[in-house]
């Protein structure tokens, strides 16, 4: 009789567990299914840093543009000629900066080549600045051209300062 009770309870538990598959899905399962339906770039639960980086860069570029505009105090005519040229300048400088970052990455093993590449890339940046300075002087007086480079440096210093302050605030 004892064996019959054990066997009976075993079959009853199998029947109960077998019906568990028919129950509605748990809340977390439904959330997982909803997440699969929502494209990754639109998910609020896990922001995709890769997609936010271009947005952050665009915001910084907009702020930098406003900063330089305020510093240079351009006329509408100067502005219409200056900004397309300045944007070209920025694209070239950004490309060289990217090459410098790649050159300084840990994947570069040959120190001699790395140093030589660094020097060549710095020369390339200087040549770009020189070439665009001449182009800027066709549009703006030399004082304002000088102010372009000073404003860029001031802006970069301000961004770094704010970054450090935010980092310190987050750490405290």
Contact 109, 80 (CB under 8 A): no
pLDDT tens digits, 34-63:
444 444 444 444 444 455 677 888 888 899
pLDDT tens digits, 148-172:
999 999 999 999 999 899 888 887 6
Report how far apart the first and last C-alpha atoms of the chain are (Å, whole number): 70
- Which structural domain range is residue 120 located in? 49-171
71 assigned to some structural domain: yes
| Per-position b or e across 123-144, b if 16+ CB within 10 A of its CB | ebeeebbeebeebbeebbeeeb
Structure tokens at 167: 């980092």
- Higher-scoring residue by pLDDT: 45, 132: 132
* Same-domain check for residues 102 and 167: yes
142 assigned to some structural domain: yes
pLDDT (average), residues 11-25: 47
Structure tokens at 61: 């570029």
43 assigned to some structural domain: no
If we measure between CA atoms, which residue out of 99, 133, 134, 105 comes closest to residue 119? Answer: 99
42 assigned to some structural domain: no
Among 38-42, 76-80, 123-127, 133-137, the range scoring the smallest mean pLDDT is 38-42
In a 13 Å sphere around the CA of 25, the CA atoms on its Cβ side amount to 8
CA dist 142 and 132 (Å) reads 12
């Amino acid at each position: 009789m004892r064996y019959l009770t054990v066997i009976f309870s075993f079959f009853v538990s199998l029947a109960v567990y077998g019906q568990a598959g028919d129950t509605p899905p748990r809340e977390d399962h439904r959330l997982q299914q909803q997440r699969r339906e929502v494209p990754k770039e639109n998910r609020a639960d896990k922001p995709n840093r890769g997609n936010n980086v271009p947005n952050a860069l665009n915001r910084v570029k907009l702020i930098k543009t406003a900063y330089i505009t305020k510093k240079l105090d351009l006329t509408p005519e100067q502005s219409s000629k200056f900004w397309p040229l300045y944007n070209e300048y920025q694209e070239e400088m950004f490309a060289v900066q990217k090459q410098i970052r790649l050159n300084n990455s840990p994947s570069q093993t040959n120190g001699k080549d790395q140093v030589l590449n660094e020097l060549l890339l710095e020369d390339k940046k200087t040549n770009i600045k020189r070439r665009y300075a001449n182009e800027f002087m066709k549009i703006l007086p030399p004082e304002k051209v000088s102010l372009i480079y000073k404003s860029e440096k001031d802006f970069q210093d301000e961004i770094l300062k704010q970054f450090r302050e935010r980092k310190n605030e987050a750490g405290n």
